[in-house]
Amino acid sequence: MDFENIKFNLKSGYKTGYISTIGANAYGVIKSENEPVVFVPYTLPEEKVAYEIIESHQDYCMARLLDVIEPSSKRVKPECPIFQTCGGCNFLHTDYDEELKIKQNVLLETLKKIGKIEPDFAFEVISSPMRFNYRNNAHIKTTNEGNIGFFENKSLNVVPFPSFECKLLTLRINSFLKQLDRHFFLFTRGFTIRDGKEIYTAHLNYSSDSKFCEYTVNNFTYRVGISDFFQVNSHLLNIFQSKVVSLIDPDLKTVELYGGSGFFSLPLATKMKELTVNEISSRASENGKYNAKLNKVDNIKFIASDASIFMKKVDNVSQILVDPPRAGLEKNVIESIENLKIKKLIYVSCNPSTFARDFSYLRSSGFELTSLILIDNFPGTFHTELISLITRD
């Protein structure tokens, strides 16, 4: 089909345009005078593409990519045959260096747009040692035919893995999956699989469910519930933990919020006299207590409660570490941080948008963004992790 000569009309729905930049969620942006902004996935800057509108809103439209008419010099052939069908990856149409540049640009633009934050802070990008075979934790979907895979983007349709393996999953997980007969996957809605000290599964036919799994990071051993959160990039666990711990001043009284099962807590506690860790999940908090005993860290206290309630009882604290979910910090938590005599806030974030929003509030009470690290915990996808140091005189 000659996309150059396609003209947009309500009947055909086809249109062409140039990608100006890549925005959040890895969508290419097309801007045209007097028309809504159009977002097109699987594109790169300066490409001319043919697309079809699939969602129309007042200020923007979502589109489906039909063809790349003028490809970027950075475009490559995806290494996965189901890329663009499976919803697991976003960036396999370019090389890893370009993916990192795009993520950096998206981050800085997000900080500027949402938080009015200019890049006058120390900035570092940490890449993943491996672009593939890093993910140690996944919930895999199944089909009635005994295939396994992930959901199609914005759909509940399962896209089967080629040869029962996914490039994001660790080599040990892929090897485990390929050795199983299809009847293991029949009559389930999906199952959890994790790669730690060994391979752990739950809700997999003919296999006993694991209640816990075990990981080792920088010589600390962690017990984690089979369905509980733990950092997914096996190749960055050590450096991620070490970078956060290095920002802590051991002489300041410290609390940690959203501490989970103690990923950062245990090494932090070894640097200071005492550490109090708050976590809303009682199950994760119990695992944190177990992990402290297991690793003989006895100067740490885990408290299971809502962070906003916990912060109302905190006083005489000079330093806080937070690692909230994608929704960011609750407004009550931000207000407590502002009202306390906090000198240092180490903010770990998996969502640049909510991080920028939260910092814009904190800045009004005298906080400054001293340093920021983009650590690429999720290669191939639009997700990233941030490690920030925020200080106040």
Confidence of residue 262 (pLDDT cuts 50, 70, 90): very high
DSSP notation for 142-179: E-TTS-EEEEBTTSS-EEEPGGG--TTB-HHHHHHHHT
Torsion angle, alpha carbons of 130, 136, 236, 359, to 10: 120
Confidence of residue 277 (pLDDT cuts 50, 70, 90): very high
H or E stretch including 22? strand 21-22
pLDDT at 4 over 90: no
Residue 23: DSSP 8-state = -
pLDDT at 5 over 50: no
Q: How far is CA 284 from the centre of its chain?
A: 19
Q: How far is CA 325 from the centre of its chain?
A: 10
Per-residue pLDDT reduced to its tens digit, 340-377: 989 999 999 999 999 999 999 999 999 999 999 999 99
Confidence of residue 155 (pLDDT cuts 50, 70, 90): confident
So what's the pLDDT on residue 13? 61
Q: Which of 263, 330, 265 is nearest to 299 (CA)?
A: 265
Average pLDDT, the chain: 94
pLDDT at 145 over 80: yes
Average pLDDT over residues 52-71: 94
pLDDT at 64 over 90: yes
> Which amino acid appears at position 108 of this protein?
L
So what's the pLDDT on residue 261? 97
Average pLDDT over residues 246-269: 97
Confidence of residue 284 (pLDDT cuts 50, 70, 90): very high
Average pLDDT over residues 5-17: 60
Confidence of residue 12 (pLDDT cuts 50, 70, 90): low
DSSP notation for 208-221: PPPSEEEEEETTEE
Position with higher pLDDT, 297 vs 144: 297
CB atoms within 10 A of CB 208: 8
Cα atoms found within 13 Å of the Cα of residue 77, Cβ hemisphere only = 1
CATH numeric code, 99-130+232-391: 3.40.50.150
Average pLDDT over residues 286-314: 96
Task: Please answer whether residues 343 and 351 qualify as being in contact, where contact means their C-beta atoms are separated by less than 8 angstroms.
Answer: no
The strand pairing partners of 15, in sequence order, are 51
Position with higher pLDDT, 21 vs 188: 21
State how far the Cα of 377 lies from the Cα of 81, in Å rounded to an integer: 23
> Which amino acid appears at position 103 of this protein?
K
pLDDT at 31 over 90: yes
CATH class of 3-74: mainly beta
Q: What percent of the chain has pLDDT over 90?
A: 91
So what's the pLDDT on residue 189? 87
Q: Where are the domains positioned within the chain? A: 3-74, 99-130+232-391, 137-216
Confidence of residue 98 (pLDDT cuts 50, 70, 90): very high
Average pLDDT over residues 267-295: 97
CA-to-CA separations, 369 to 167, 202, 375, in angstroms, rounded: 36, 42, 17
Q: What percent of the chain has pLDDT over 70?
A: 97
Per-residue pLDDT reduced to its tens digit, 353-362: 999 999 999 9
State how far the Cα of 249 lies from the Cα of 237, in Å rounded to an integer: 21
pLDDT at 6 over 90: no
